């Protein structure tokens, strides 16, 4: 379920997974059961996004891509930037 939060700055841990709405109007995909609980909060500012517009879908995709890129950075800190190693040694010789 996609949920939009009117006011950002909110993060929730549910069943050992984290969900966040960093900025006003952010959209985050959450499990159905969590979505139902959040929608039941009076004045919580949560709303269902039934069919995201192209702009919203693009924002969700961009966030997922950024999260994946960040995970890749932390997964292999020794990957380097291509400036050193065998190719860098050959260029410097």
pLDDT number for residue 76:
55
Residue 85 in domain: no
| Alpha carbons 30 and 18: distance in angstroms, whole number | 9
Residue 81 in domain: no
Residue 91 in domain: no
> For residue 60, what are the domain limits?
2-75
Residue 87's pLDDT band, with cuts at 50, 70 and 90, is: low
Residue 83 in domain: no
Q: What is the pLDDT of residues 17-73, one digit of tens each?
A: 999 999 999 999 999 999 999 999 999 999 998 766 766 777 788 888 888 888 777
Name the domain count of the chain: 1
Mean pLDDT for the stretch of residues 76-88: 54
Residue 35 in domain: yes
Does 93 score more than 50 pLDDT? no
Residue 21 in contact with residue 9, Cβ under 8 Å?
yes
Residue 30 in domain: yes
**β 17-21/10-14 pair status:** antiparallel
The secondary element (H helix, E strand) that includes residue 67 is helix 54-75
């Amino acid at each position: 379920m996609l949920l939009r939060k009117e006011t950002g700055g909110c993060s929730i841990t549910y069943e050992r997974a984290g969900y966040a709405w960093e900025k006003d109007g952010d959209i985050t995909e959450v499990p159905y059961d969590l979505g139902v609980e959040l929608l039941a909060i009076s004045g919580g500012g949560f709303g269902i996004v039934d069919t995201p517009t192209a702009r919203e879908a693009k924002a969700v995709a961009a966030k997922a891509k950024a999260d994946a890129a960040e995970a890749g950075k932390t997964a292999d800190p020794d990957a380097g930037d291509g400036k050193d190693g065998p190719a860098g040694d050959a260029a410097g010789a």
